[in-house]
């Protein structure tokens, strides 16, 4: 195992440890904890399988193995962006409905207070 292989594996294991620690302290919800545990597990597997990734990249016609890793990382980040955009859209809809309900309740309370006087 050369030094770069060791560094990549140590970084992936450190990331996995951070995710596990944050999950244990309830700083991540179960849904996000599962997602980040999955990604960090994939990172550890990729760190262990670096020599095999080099062969795989040559088999699919990519001459430089880091380009394959960059492509995979780009696709993961893009999928995360799409997922979080969908989640943000859902939260915005729910916030709009909540604001409308609060405004409606405030108007009803105002009308009720007028009727009492």
What string of pLDDT tens digits covers the 117 residues of the chain? 688 888 888 888 898 899 889 988 988 888 888 888 888 888 888 888 888 888 889 999 998 888 888 988 899 899 989 989 999 999 999 999 999 999 999 999 999 999 987
pTM for the complete prediction?
0.67
Q: Which of 53, 49, 33, 43 is nearest to 10 (CA)?
A: 43
Q: Reduce the DSSP state of residue 7 to 3 states and report it.
A: helix
Distance CA 6, CA 48 (A): 9
Please give the pLDDT value at position 100: 97
Q: Which of 81, 4, 13 is nearest to 42 (CA)?
A: 13
Distance CA 91, CA 9 (A): 37
Please give the pLDDT value at position 1: 64
Query: For the chain, how long is the longest CA-to-CA vector?
Result: 83
Distance CA 92, CA 94 (A): 5
> What is the CB neighbour count within 10 angstroms for residue 43?
20
CA 8-25-38 angle, to 5 degrees, is 40
């Amino acid at each position: 195992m050369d030094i770069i292989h060791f560094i990549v594996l140590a970084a992936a294991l450190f990331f996995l440890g951070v995710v596990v620690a944050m999950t244990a302290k309830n700083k991540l919800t179960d849904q996000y904890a599962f997602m980040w545990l999955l990604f960090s597990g994939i990172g550890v597997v990729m760190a262990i399988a670096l020599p095999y990734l080099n062969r795989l990249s040559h088999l699919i016609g990519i001459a430089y193995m880091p380009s394959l890793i960059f492509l995979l990382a780009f696709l993961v980040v893009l999928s995360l962006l799409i997922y979080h955009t969908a989640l943000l859209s859902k939260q915005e809809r729910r916030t709009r409905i909540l604001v409308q309900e609060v405004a409606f309740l405030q108007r009803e309370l105002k009308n009720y207070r007028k009727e009492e006087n």
